[in-house]
């Protein structure tokens, strides 16, 4: 077992999906600031270079989060190796592109196996260890789409709505053990998330082709943030005494979500009398 750094500012991270995108950016940034990182990816070769660059401060592990037993073994290995885990960051995930009619149940189940059940496997493996050590911080990479959905990627958004609900309930359940929970909600960023490696496409129906083409063209016009600008914000979250449950990453989400919730409130209020008429007499 390596010697743990006893500095009050040094932390030990466990990160899934560390081969590219935010996972890679955050893993390297944590290592550069002197933290220790258990970096995981499906293909060990994709993160092998971290060993050469950061030596004993990094532990690289192969992990397909859809394999619950492998997830448990990886979390326990990291905990034994470093002596503790301060931050467990679930970042692995991908997007399914296709309309609600186009995507098959097989496609949707596979999406949830990674985005939801893979996340749960890591959380459930980590919780006994975090309780035993007296605390820790669970982070999950969600999206602005955890509050507002879009056509064509509705199933991906649905996985993030589920992700948000699970983490919100988790936060209430584990606060008694000194365990903190934060949901990171990025807006549009120039990461590899939009690459072929991070997208799966449902077989298309011709009737939707024009609609999807117009949608994709609108997405191309979105202003994308710089992922390399994000680590300092993330560090403020993990270093905070009282970190937020939800944290918008980037400058566009808040206006978008505020508008969506204002619209929802207006509709609920417009229909309030009808809603209340369905209450009936107290039982």
CATH number at residue 143: 3.40.50.720
pLDDT at residue 252, as a whole number: 87
Q: Residue 79 belongs to what domain range?
A: 12-252
Which is the catalytic residue, given 95, 142, 143, 158?
Answer: 142
CA distances from 238 to 137, 149, 181 (A): 7, 28, 10
pLDDT at residue 188, as a whole number: 83
Question: Which residues does the chain have with pLDDT short of 70?
Answer: 1-8, 192-198
| Residue 234 within any structural domain of the chain | yes
| Residue 7 within any structural domain of the chain | no
Closest to 39 measured CA to CA, from 3, 87, 110, 94: 87
Tell me if 227 sits within 8 A of 190, measured CB to CB: yes
pLDDT at residue 140, as a whole number: 98
Largest CA distance in the chain: 70
> How far is it, in rounded angstroms, from Cα 123 to Cα 143?
19
Which is the catalytic residue, given 156, 158, 159, 180?
Answer: 156
SS3 83: coil
| Residue 6 within any structural domain of the chain | no
Sequence-distant (6+) residues with CB within 8 A of 167 are 138, 140, 142, 181, 183, 245
pLDDT at residue 192, as a whole number: 59
Residue 142 annotated among the catalytic residues of the structure? yes
pLDDT at residue 71, as a whole number: 98
| Residue 283 within any structural domain of the chain | no
Strand positions, DSSP E, 51-131 = 58-62, 87-90, 95-97
Which is the catalytic residue, given 19, 36, 54, 160?
Answer: 160
The DSSP symbol for 75 reads H
Sequence-distant (6+) residues with CB within 8 A of 211 are 99, 151, 152
Residue 46 annotated among the catalytic residues of the structure? no
The DSSP symbol for 145 reads G
| Residue 181 within any structural domain of the chain | yes
Bridge partners of residue 41, in order along the sequence: 62
Residue 283 annotated among the catalytic residues of the structure? no
Number of domains in the chain: 1
Tokens 């997405």 label which residue? 219
| Residue 149 within any structural domain of the chain | yes
pLDDT at residue 128, as a whole number: 98
Instruction: Determine which helix (DSSP H) or strand (DSSP E) holds 267, and give its type and residue range.
Output: helix 253-270
pLDDT at residue 244, as a whole number: 98
pLDDT at residue 3, as a whole number: 35
> How far is it, in rounded angstroms, from Cα 277 to Cα 189?
45
Sequence-distant (6+) residues with CB within 8 A of 171 are 180, 181, 245
| Residue 64 within any structural domain of the chain | yes
pLDDT digits (tens, 9 = 90+) for 40-96: 999 999 999 999 999 999 999 999 999 999 999 999 999 999 999 999 999 999 999
> How far is it, in rounded angstroms, from Cα 104 to Cα 251?
34
pLDDT at residue 5, as a whole number: 39
pLDDT at residue 217, as a whole number: 85
| Residue 280 within any structural domain of the chain | no
SS3 266: helix
Closest to 30 measured CA to CA, from 47, 45, 9: 9
């Amino acid at each position: 077992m390596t010697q743990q750094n006893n500095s009050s500012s040094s932390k030990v991270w466990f990160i899934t999906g560390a081969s590219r995108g935010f996972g890679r950016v955050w893993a390297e940034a944590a290592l550069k600031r002197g933290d220790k990182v258990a970096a995981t990816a499906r293909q060990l070769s994709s993160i092998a270079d971290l060993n050469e660059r950061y030596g004993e401060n990094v532990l690289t592990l192969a992990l397909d989060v859809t394999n619950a037993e492998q997830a448990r073994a990886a979390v326990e290995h990291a905990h034994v190796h470093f002596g503790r885990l301060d931050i467990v960051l679930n970042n692995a995930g991908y997007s399914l592109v296709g309309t609600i009619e186009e995507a098959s149940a097989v496609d949707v189940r596979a999406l949830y196996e990674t985005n939801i059940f893979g996340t749960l496997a890591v959380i459930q493996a980590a919780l006994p260890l975090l309780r035993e050590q007296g605390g820790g911080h669970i982070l999950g990479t969600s999206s602005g789409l955890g509050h507002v959905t879009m056509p064509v990627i509705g199933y991906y958004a649905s996985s993030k709505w589920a992700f948000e609900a699970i983490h919100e309930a988790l936060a209430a359940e584990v606060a008694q053990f000194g365990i903190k929970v934060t949901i990171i909600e990025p807006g549009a960023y120039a990461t590899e998330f939009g690459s072929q490696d991070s997208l799966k496409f449902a077989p298309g129906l011709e009737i939707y082709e024009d609609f999807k083409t117009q949608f994709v063209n609108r997405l191309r016009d979105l202003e994308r943030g710089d992922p390399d600008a994000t680590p300092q914000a993330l560090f403020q979250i993990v270093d905070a005494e009282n970190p937020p449950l939800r944290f918008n990453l980037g400058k566009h989400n808040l206006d978008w979500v505020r508008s969506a919730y204002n619209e929802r409130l207006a509709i609920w209020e417009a229909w309030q009398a009808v809603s209340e008429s369905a209450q009936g007499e107290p039982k």
